[in-house]
A and B are shown apart, each in its own frame.
Chain A
Amino acid sequence: MIKSLDPRVTRAQIEENNTITPLKDLDQWETYEVFHQKKRGDQHMHVGIVHAPNPEMALLFAKEQYGRRGMSVNIWVVGTRDVYTSDYDDTDMFDVSEKNYREAGGYKVMEKINKYKKANKIK
């Protein structure tokens, strides 16, 4: 039995050179993505994952893992299996550089006013 500097280890009566059967697949359960809200009014933001057997425990573990420093007022958990994602290969689908009619900057109002004033000799 291991006699340790740590009395808790000695009390646990652990055999030296113990062996255990290896962890099976999914021994550590599935994963849930965790989103937290810093304060009321903010959007929830992704902060990481927890491993949990069900949503209730995922919420519990998420509070333990991500809520230690009083920086959240609310958390959500979603199974990783339920999150659908886009591909980084498709990032060009977000390119709207040719659609400036969607932006305020796409409208050159002062240019028109100045051009009119100049043409009509108005100050």
Chain B
Amino acid sequence: MYGNAYIDPNEKANLILAEEDPQKLAEFEARIDRGEKIEPKDWMPKEYRKQLIRMIEQHAHSEIIGALPEGTWITRAPGFKRKLALMAKVQDEVGHAQLLYSAAETLGKSREAMINDLITGKSKYSNVFNYPAFTWADACVIAWLIDAGAIINQVANAKGSYGPYCRALDRICTEESFHLKYGHDNVVTLATGSSIQRDMVQGALTRWWPPIMHFFGPSDKISQHTEILMKWKVKMASNDDMRQQFLDMYVPKIWDLGLSVPDPLLKKNTATNKWEYTEPDWDEFKRVINGDGPCNAERLAVRRHAEEHGRWVREALNNVGSKYIVPLA
């Protein structure tokens, strides 16, 4: 589950394209324009490799951290079937993380380096998971609407230029269809249930609406960065376009259940055909993604704990004579 790569706005967009072989660069860009995929051993500009590693790595981290707020409610999900389903969903998410780490590894960054960057706080992950799942209904809203957002992003990126990432995303998109249906089913059960259930799911939706609006990231300024990433089919759609698509697909469904969205300005402008809304608080987004959110510390502490406690098993099984090889595809 993943909304978009986080690029620090202070990072200089000093693309070192000047250092790249112009003929190789032209061939590379022509290949992408033809709709062909770039594969691991192909020549690629350093910036392409760097941005893709960052994007795929962040996506992988998001999947594995995302399992934590959802996993909160496994032991107390209402009923056996819901427990089984939520466990399956969480297992899927961890599996998606594996697929994505593997795709990032084909670009030359080792899994150990990626995990180290996550647990030291150096690498980012989807900000939405830095918020707490207070009730069962929170887990349901996440499963429906956050997965919905992730699917929009993943379907777009599956048409990108890098072969291994596209293949991983195709696989992920297939499995996500269960997540979305499961999440919707849960929310519908609550919204059409008793008044206690309806209140619980409304409360969860009200709580999660601001992070959901943050999910696709701030409006992209048309910078050199965005432009070249879209040219290279690393970024497939603008943050705003994806947010609009999300609102278009899901706000009517939310209203259909008699639930309300805590934004009095939210409406579709029939003239422009675009949704209008209160601009999300991007200062809060920046604050939380840089470490000052309600759950950042806990998420990473749990991750570190898990790595540390599994270490003796990994070391016991390791072989003398192992050597590191970049995976194929």
Task: Report A's interface with B, CB cutoff 8 A.
Answer: 2, 4-9, 12, 14-20, 22-31, 33, 46-51, 53-54, 57, 64-65, 68-69, 80-81, 83, 85, 87-88
Contact = CB atoms under 8 A, between A and B. Distances in A.
B319 interface: yes
B112 A68 contact: no
Interface in B295-329: 297-298, 301-302, 304-305, 307-308, 311, 314-315, 317-319, 322-329
B328 A25 contact: no
A51 B111 contact: yes
Interface stretch (B3-11, B92-100, B230-238, B250-258): B92-100
Contacts of A6: 68, 71-72
A27 B69 CA distance: 27
A28 to B, nearest CB: 5
17 contacts: A6-B68, A9-B298, A12-B305, A15-B301, A16-B301, A19-B304, A20-B304, A23-B116, A28-B115, A46-B329, A47-B171, A48-B99, A49-B102, A64-B95, A80-B325, A81-B323, A83-B328
- Which 7 pairs from chain A and chain B are nearest by CB? A6-B72, A53-B317, A23-B112, A20-B308, A28-B111, A49-B327, A22-B116
A26 B311 CA distance: 12
B206 interface: no
Given A16-B301, A26-B112, A68 B134 contact: no
Contacts of B116: 22-23
Given A49-B102, A49-B328, A54-B319, 15 more contacts: A16-B298, A18-B305, A20-B304, A22-B120, A27-B315, A27-B318, A30-B325, A31-B102, A31-B105, A46-B329, A48-B171, A53-B318, A57-B317, A65-B95, A69-B174
Given A28-B115, A48-B168, A5 B133 contact: yes
Q: Please classify the interface of chain A as helix (H, G, I), strand (E, B), loop, or mixed, using the class held by over half of its residues.
A: loop
A69 B41 CA distance: 31
Contact of A68 (B92, B133, B307, B329): B92
Given A8-B75, A54-B317, A48 B115 contact: no
Interface string B55-75: 000000000000010011001
